[in-house]
Structure 1
Amino acid sequence: MNIERLEYFSTLAAYLNYSKAAKQLYISQPSLSKQISQLEKELGVPLFNRSRHMVALTPEGQECLHMVRALLHDYQQLKSWAEEKAASQAIPSIRIGYYGTLLKDIVLAVVEGFLTRQPNMDILLKNDSPYEVITALQNDVVDLAILRDGYCTSLKNLHREKVCTMYQYLLVPEHHPLARRSSVCLSELKNENFITLFQKDSPQGHDDMVLLCRKYGLEPKISHRCDDPFSYTMMIQSGQGLGIAHAYKNSFIAGIKFVSLTCRREDLTSDIMAVWKKEDRRTGGVLLTKTIRDICRQIPDLDESPSGREQDLR
Structure 2
Amino acid sequence: MRIEQLEYLEAIVKTGSINEAAKNLYLTQPSLSNALKELEKEIGIQILVRSKLGVSLTDDGREFMIYARQILDNVHLLEERYQKQSPRKQALSISAQHYAFVVHAFVELIRGVNTEEYQFTLRETETQNILEDLTAFKSELGVLYLNNFNKQVLEKLFKENDLVFTPLFVAQPHVFVGAHNPLIGKKYVTLEDLEEYPYLSYEQGERNSFYFSEEILSTLDRKKNIKVSDRATIFNLMVGLNGYTISSGIISSELNDDKIVAIPLKVEDTMTLGWLKHHKLELSPLAKEYLEILKQHIEGFGFEIVE
Determine whether 1:296 maps to 2:298: no
Any idea what SS the aligned residue of 2:173 has? strand
TM-score after normalising by structure 2: 0.51
Q: Given that residues 97 and 126 in structure 1 are in contact (C-alpha distance below 8 angstroms), is that contact kept between their aligned partners in structure 2?
A: yes
Partner of 1:107: 106
Partner of 1:236: 238
Q: What one-letter code is carried by the residue in structure 1 that aligns with 2:74? A: S
Q: Given that residues 198 and 241 in structure 2 are in contact (C-alpha distance below 8 angstroms), is that contact kept between their aligned partners in structure 1?
A: no
Q: CA deviation at 1:85?
A: 8.9
C-alpha change, 1:159 and 1:187, in structure 2 (3 Å) is: same
C-alpha change, 1:106 and 1:268, in structure 2 (3 Å) is: farther
Q: Given that residues 201 and 228 in structure 2 are in contact (C-alpha distance below 8 angstroms), is that contact kept between their aligned partners in structure 1?
A: yes
Give the Cα separation in 2 of the matches to 1:198 and 1:249: 21
Q: Given that residues 157 and 277 in structure 1 are in contact (C-alpha distance below 8 angstroms), is that contact kept between their aligned partners in structure 2?
A: yes
Determine whether 1:147 maps to 2:143: yes
The one of 95, 100, 103 equivalent to 1:98 is 95
Partner of 1:88: 74
Any idea what SS the aligned residue of 1:296 has? helix
Q: CA deviation at 1:240?
A: 4.5
Q: Given that residues 166 and 272 in structure 1 are in contact (C-alpha distance below 8 angstroms), is that contact kept between their aligned partners in structure 2?
A: no
Q: CA deviation at 1:295?
A: 5.8
Q: What one-letter code is carried by the residue in structure 2 that aligns with 1:296? A: L
Any idea what SS the aligned residue of 2:296 has? coil
Q: What one-letter code is carried by the residue in structure 2 that aligns with 1:89? A: V
C-alpha change, 1:276 and 1:207, in structure 2 (3 Å) is: closer
C-alpha change, 1:149 and 1:180, in structure 2 (3 Å) is: closer
Correspondence list, 1:1-314, <5 A? 88-89=74-75, 92=88, 93-99=90-96, 100=98, 102=100, 103-108=102-107, 115=113, 122-130=118-126, 131-142=128-139, 144-150=140-146, 153=155, 154-155=157-158, 156-200=161-205, 204-205=212-213, 208-211=216-219, 214=220, 219-248=221-250, 250=252, 253-264=257-268, 267-273=269-275, 275-280=276-281, 285=282, 288=283, 292=287, 296=291, 299-300=295-296, 302=298
C-alpha change, 1:148 and 1:164, in structure 2 (3 Å) is: same
More moved, 148-157 vs 296-305 = 296-305
Q: CA deviation at 1:172?
A: 2.4
Q: CA deviation at 1:253?
A: 2.3
Give the Cα separation in 2 of the matches to 1:206 and 1:141: 21
Give the Cα separation in 2 of the matches to 1:138 and 1:296: 20
Residue deviations 1:188-209 (CA, integer Å, cap 9, x gap): 3333332333343886445524
RMSD: 3.9
Q: What one-letter code is carried by the residue in structure 2 that aligns with 1:210? A: S
Structure 1 unmatched ranges of 5 or more? 1-83, 307-314
Give the Cα separation in 1 of the matches to 2:176 and 2:106: 23
Any idea what SS the aligned residue of 1:253 has? coil
| Aligned-pair identity (%) | 10
Q: What one-letter code is carried by the residue in structure 1 that aligns with 2:192? A: S
Any idea what SS the aligned residue of 2:298 has? coil
Q: Given that residues 170 and 270 in structure 2 are in contact (C-alpha distance below 8 angstroms), is that contact kept between their aligned partners in structure 1?
A: no
Any idea what SS the aligned residue of 1:96 has? strand
Give the Cα separation in 1 of the matches to 2:189 and 2:123: 33
Q: What one-letter code is carried by the residue in structure 1 that aligns with 2:120? A: L
C-alpha change, 1:165 and 1:96, in structure 2 (3 Å) is: farther
Q: Given that residues 195 and 225 in structure 1 are in contact (C-alpha distance below 8 angstroms), is that contact kept between their aligned partners in structure 2?
A: yes
Name the structure where helix makes up a greater proportion of residues.
1
